[in-house]
Amino acid sequence: MSFLVLDNLQKSFGAVQVVKDFNMSIDKGEFVSFLGPSGCGKTTVLRMIAGFETPSGGTISINGKDQNRLKTNQRNIGMVFQAYALFPNMNVFDNVAFGLKVAGTPKAEIQARVKEMLALIRLEHLADRYPYQMSGGQQQRVALARALAPKPQLLLLDEPLSALDAKIRISLREEIRQIQRQLGITTVFVTHDQEEALSISDRIVVMNAGRADQIGTPSEIYNRPATRFVASFVGTLNMIDATVEDPAARTVRIGDQVIALREMPGSHKAGDPILLALRPEAGSLSSTGDSRLQGEVISSSFLGSVVRTKIAVGANAVSFDTFNAPDLTMPTPGEKVTLNFSSQDLLVVRD
């Protein structure tokens, strides 16, 4: 059963439409990420769910209840902000207790709940500290505890990791995911970092210019990107411009080579341009798979665990990764090589 439903959501600031026809259903306990570059409208959707912005059109409902007419402070939502936004005049305990205090919770209950929350984020020993005395990672964990303390029905995370160091970012994102699973709380997470989104989410919404380009599990998004935008935004992907050779035989022409696709969308006629995508890790120099492309090596770079080689196939540059091994000889520029891959890894992508 869908818990959070965004139906035909729209938002315009003056003449600029930043969110267009956004539809989405999120199940109870699900962890969903909104992924996209800055300005794609992901934060605006989140702020509409929180009630900071009023939708120009469409509805938001949580647990079957329409939220449009509720004020922010009536929605029972927890939110974590990018810049922590802890109250600087309160120590950790009072920050976490804030939501309970304004709700008029009895003192003893507040005590117990705050303790429980601080235990959850493993910061019981810092209850008396003020925000300015703590590191960014600690502050953000307190912000998470503060958001969770009043037992919200929904947790919103607005780029909560962006302001942190790389190392803490990874450990905190694991911690957030673990706490989310433990509490089973429905969570919407906004980020521009694809690795973050892929590693933490049940489902990902890739947003582009106010629209959801693709909604799917991390593996669907990564392995079967639906559009050029998704393909280029998520991971490194070779984009290959080709023309349809024979729709019936599902063959396409790349430069002067012709290969067969696993499947081809019905609408294509012979001579039509078609956009293909291939992950670097799908290709190999050893003869595996059912498809091959010849090319000339442009460059080869050593990246540690893998060697990334770029070859020219017709007008396209195609990169592929080979695992490093002590006896590996790196391809030299100018060398002619054959790239082998499975035809099911060659995807057709919408523009």
Partner 1 sequence: MNQASPAPRLRLSLTWLGLMPFAVFVLLFLLLPTMHIVIGAFQTRDGSFTLQNILDLNSGTIPSSYWVSIKISATSAALGCLIGFGMASAVVFGAVPRWIRSPLMTFSGVASNFAGVPLAFAFLATFGPVGLVTLFLRQNFGIVLQRDLGFNILSFWGLTVTYLFFQIPLMILIITPALEGLRREWREAAQVLGATTLQYWRMVALPILFPSLLGTFALLFANAFGAVATAIALTGSSLNIVPIQLFAQIRGDVLGNPNLGYAMAFGMIVVTAIANIVYIWLRIRAERWLK
Judged by the rule CB under 8 A, the positions of this chain that interact with partner 1 are: 50-52, 71-79, 81, 83, 85-89, 98-99, 101-103, 132, 143, 146-147, 150, 156
* Residue 266 CB partners (closer than 8 Å, separation 6+): none
- Nearer to partner 1 among residue 46 and residue 347 (C-beta): 46
- Nearer to partner 1 among residue 55 and residue 160 (C-beta): 160
- Nearer to partner 1 among residue 77 and residue 313 (C-beta): 77
Nearest to 163 by CA among 188, 193, 206: 193
User: How many CB atoms sit inside 10 A of residue 42's CB?
Assistant: 30
- Nearer to partner 1 among residue 100 and residue 244 (C-beta): 100
- Nearer to partner 1 among residue 47 and residue 192 (C-beta): 47
Write the DSSP assignment of 314-332 as a string of letters.
TTEEEEEEEE--TTPPPPP
**Residue found by looking up tokens 């592929």 in the block:** 320
- Separation of CA 169 from chain center: 15
The answer to whether the beta carbons of residues 327 and 287 sit under 8 Å apart is: no
Q: How far is the CB of 81 from partner 1 (least distance, A)?
A: 5
| Residue 310 Cα distances to 14, 153, 333, 345, angstroms | 46, 49, 9, 18
Q: How far is the CB of 140 from partner 1 (least distance, A)?
A: 13
Nearest to 226 by CA among 216, 238, 236: 216
Q: How far is the CB of 221 from partner 1 (least distance, A)?
A: 29
- Nearer to partner 1 among residue 98 and residue 233 (C-beta): 98
Q: How far is the CB of 93 from partner 1 (least distance, A)?
A: 14
Q: How far is the CB of 158 from partner 1 (least distance, A)?
A: 9
Q: How far is the CB of 63 from partner 1 (least distance, A)?
A: 17
